[in-house]
Structures are given as structure tokens and as C-alpha cells.
Amino acid sequence: MKTLHIDLGERSYDIRIASGLLDRAGEELKTVCPKAKRLAVVTDSNVMPLYAHRLIPGLEQAGFETALFEIPAGEKSKNAERLAWLWENLMDFGLTRTDAVVALGGGVVGDLAGFAAATVLRGVDFIQIPTTLLAQVDSSVGGKVAIDLAHGKNLAGAFWQPKLVLMDPDTLNTLPDKTFSDGMAEVIKYGCIADRDFFDFLSAHPSRAEIMAHIEHVLYTCCDIKRSVVESDERDTGARMILNFGHTVGHAFELAGHYEQWTHGQAVAAGMCAALRLGLALGVTESGEGMEELTNLLQAFGLPLHISCPREVLEQAVGLDKKNTGSQITVILLKEMGKAQPVKLEREGLLRDLEPLLGS
Ligand code: NAD
Ligand code: GLY
């Protein structure tokens, strides 16, 4: 088993990564929630038939009373109605302030269950058991929890760190290829922003089978990079923004496709290509650095290199980026492959520079 400790003072916690961990979760939870009697397990309609029967008996054998709450799979469940439904169900179950909420699923389940945990009874303990690659390398770590509003994604939320993150890499075997590739976009992002050796490792293992043969190393390396970023900027006021490499333009692509044509991972993939091109065009990125390797790697996982995007959509995405204020915007470029460089640009200038790179 690989263990990573996230050091955030009294909000510190461990990430544990091991094959078969799902069956042993009861004992692990006992150590982090010694006072809990009840565990409310939130999952979705795809994950429930695959993994609930592996998790629940172990939790009950460890002495917990459990209840399972299933939401329909997909982003549409990450909304205020579903959150209110969950709050009421948690109350019906008799959850108390010493009990805990467990998220078993991808980022949708983690974000919704985490926000419920952050808010019900003014906050109860929260455990993440992520089952998608994206959730294992990104959303289950760092404490961001949220729901979507009609105005946009993740607009109501909280920082609510989990007490423990349990990752069983075997759960990734049942992911559709497209969902696995979505997670790979974030995996590749970590190599781009923080670790050239890891990027080279990925380039040398450009298939799902090869990644799965080294999955503990891949998960550990990504989570370790996220750990160091989150430890230095838990509340996302500065350093954490390097995790947004490929995301500002990616957000425009998601908007252009009405969040239906392109998945988040696909949008981030094309967004990373655009950001690398922008860095090269502005002279922030050393010339010739990384473009061919990045495009080869993304292509190997079936991820797009280009997404065309109308100017109005780009304007909206860049202007509405909730992480920035005023006439300037900070974009994450690369100084070189493996080293992110935040750069402040005038929004108008950014739009001007980006347009020819996007072929819209
Ligand atoms: P998801 O939770 O919708 O999961 C993708 C699909 O895979 C779903 O259909 C799900 O039912 C299915 N699934 C999950 N585990 C499975 C398994 N082991 N086998 C087979 N199918 C499985 O999406 P996601 O990509 O995991 O997460 C995306 C969400 O995460 C978005 O809402 C995004 O906003 C959020 N997110 C949050 C953070 C954060 O820091 N909190 C970071 C990145 C993304
Ligand atoms: N996924 C970006 C963050 O956690 O900050």
C-alpha cells in the first residue's frame, strides 16, 4: 500500500492507494472516525451495482450502521435539488455530528456528497472513495466540493477536506475507455506543470494497459503533486492556480459544446495544446519545447488537439473566469515541459493572441 499524508494542520489526512482496498475500507475508516456509529454512503447508479456490495459488508463488519444513497449517474445530479434530497435523507437516517458521509464514485458523487457533508448539521466528517481516474488524481484530493447552478459549474461550494481518501486502482478496470482517457488528460497535465520525468514516463507508456501496469506509481505521483500545491495554497488564492493549466481555454471549449459535445478531459486536452502554443507564441515557453511529445501523448489516449470555438464563447469564458478579477487574467503557461508559469495578461490581449491559435 502507498500512503501520502496531506499536511494541512488540523485538517490533515492520508491518501491510501492499494489494490483490494475497497474490501478493507471498514478497518481503515474505524481509525479515522472512531466515534462514528453511522456511515451514509453516497454513490451513483453505475457504481452502485459494481462496487457497493464490496464496500458495505466490510463497513458493517467493522461495526458501522450504513445506509446507501444512490443518485442518477452524471453531471446533472450535481445540483441544488439533489443536494436538498440528500440532506433530508441524511436526517431520515439519523445522522449525527459524530457520524460521517462516504463518497463512493467519480467526481460528481465526491463533489455532491462532500458539499452535503460540509453543510449538513454544520459539517460532518467526510471520506472519499474515488472510482474514476479523474477522481483519484484530482477531485478527491484538496477539499473542493460543489454543486452546479443554472449560471455555471461548481458555483456553490465549500472547502471541506476529507478525513481519508481510499483509492482502489482495481475499480478503474470497469471504466469505459472514454472516461479513462478523460482522467488521463489530468494525469498528463501534472507532468506538464510539475514533473518532466513523469511526463517522459507517460510518453514511454502511451496506452491504458501500460498505465494500468504502473497505476499505483501514476496515482501516487499525481496525488503527490496535488498534495504539494494544496499544502501551499489550500484556499486557492495563488499557487493552486497552476492546476488550471489548459482549463481556461478548456472552459471555453466546454461552453462551445454546451457541456455535451466535449467531455471535461477532452476540453482540457485541447486547452493544454492551446496553452502550450500560446506560451510558445508569447516567448514564455522555450522554443520547440514539448509540443510534439504532448500531442503524441494526447493522441495516444484518443484526446483531441484542437477544438474550434467562436469568439463570443471565448470572450465569455475568459471574461467570466471566476478565478480572476479586473481587466487582467492570469493564465497558466509552461516555462518548459514540467514547469508551469503563471502569466498575467490583459483579457483583450489574451483573446487577440488566442484567436489565431484556435483556428476558429
Ligand atoms: P463522474 O463522476 O460523472 O464519473 C464519470 C462516469 O463514470 C459516470 O457515468 C460514473 O457513473 C462512471 N463511473 C464511476 N466510477 C466508475 C467505475 N469504477 N466503473 C465504471 N463506471 C464508473 O465524472 P468524473 O469524471 O469522475 O468527475 C467529474 C466531476 O468532477 C465534475 O463534476 C467536475 O466538476 C468535478 N471535479 C471536481 C474537482 C474538485 O477538485 N472537487 C476537480 C476536478 C473535477
Ligand atoms: N481541480 C483544481 C483544484 O483542485 O484546485
pLDDT 10s digits, 302-340: 999 999 998 888 888 877 444 546 788 899 999 999 999
Q: How far is the CA of 58 from the centre of ligand 2 (A)?
A: 31
Pocket of ligand 2 contains residue 240 by CB under 6 Å: yes
Q: How far is the CA of 108 from the centre of ligand 1 (A)?
A: 5
Task: Output the residue whose Cα is nearest ligand 2's atom 2.
Answer: 243
- Ligand 1 atom with the shortest distance to the CA of 142: 40
Ligand nearest to the CA of 115: 1
Q: How far is the CA of 68 from the centre of ligand 1 (A)?
A: 18
Pocket of ligand 1 contains residue 168 by CB under 6 Å: no
First-last CA distance in the chain:
47
Q: How far is the CA of 219 from the centre of ligand 1 (A)?
A: 16
From 111, 155, 303, the mutation candidate for ligand 1 (largest count of ligand atoms within 8 A of CB) is 111
Pocket of ligand 2 contains residue 138 by CB under 6 Å: yes
Task: Output the residue whose Cα is nearest ligand 1's atom 40.
Answer: 139
Q: How far apart are CA 251 and CA 331, in angstroms?
A: 12
Q: DSSP states of 72-125 as a string? A: -SSGGGSSHHHHHHHHHHHHHHT--TT-EEEEEESHHHHHHHHHHHHHGGG--E
Q: How far is the CA of 228 from the centre of ligand 2 (A)?
A: 12
337-352 residue pLDDT tens: 999 999 999 888 888 8
Compute the radius of gyration of the chain from its Cα atoms: 20
Are the C-beta atoms of 295 and 277 separated by less than 8 Å? no
pLDDT tens over the chain, length 360 residues: 999 999 999 999 999 999 999 999 999 999 999 999 999 999 999 999 999 999 999 999 999 999 999 999 999 999 999 999 999 999 999 999 999 999 999 999 999 999 999 999 999 999 999 999 999 999 999 999 999 999 889 999 999 999 999 999 999 999 999 999 999 999 999 999 999 999 999 999 999 999 999 999 999 999 999 999 999 999 999 999 999 999 999 999 999 999 999 999 999 999 999 999 999 999 999 988 899 999 999 999 999 999 999 888 888 887 744 454 678 889 999 999 999 999 999 888 888 888 888 764
Pocket of ligand 2 contains residue 101 by CB under 6 Å: no
- Ligand 1 atom with the shortest distance to the CA of 78: 32
Structure-block grid coordinates of residue 280: 510558445
From 133, 165, 222, 236, the mutation candidate for ligand 2 (largest count of ligand atoms within 8 A of CB) is 236
Nearest to 350 by CA among 252, 240, 221, 267: 252
Pocket of ligand 1 contains residue 47 by CB under 6 Å: yes
Query: 3-class SS at 264?
Result: helix
Nearest to 350 by CA among 295, 279, 301: 279
- Written as one letter, the residue type at 139 is S
Q: How far apart are CA 267 and CA 244, in angstroms?
A: 12
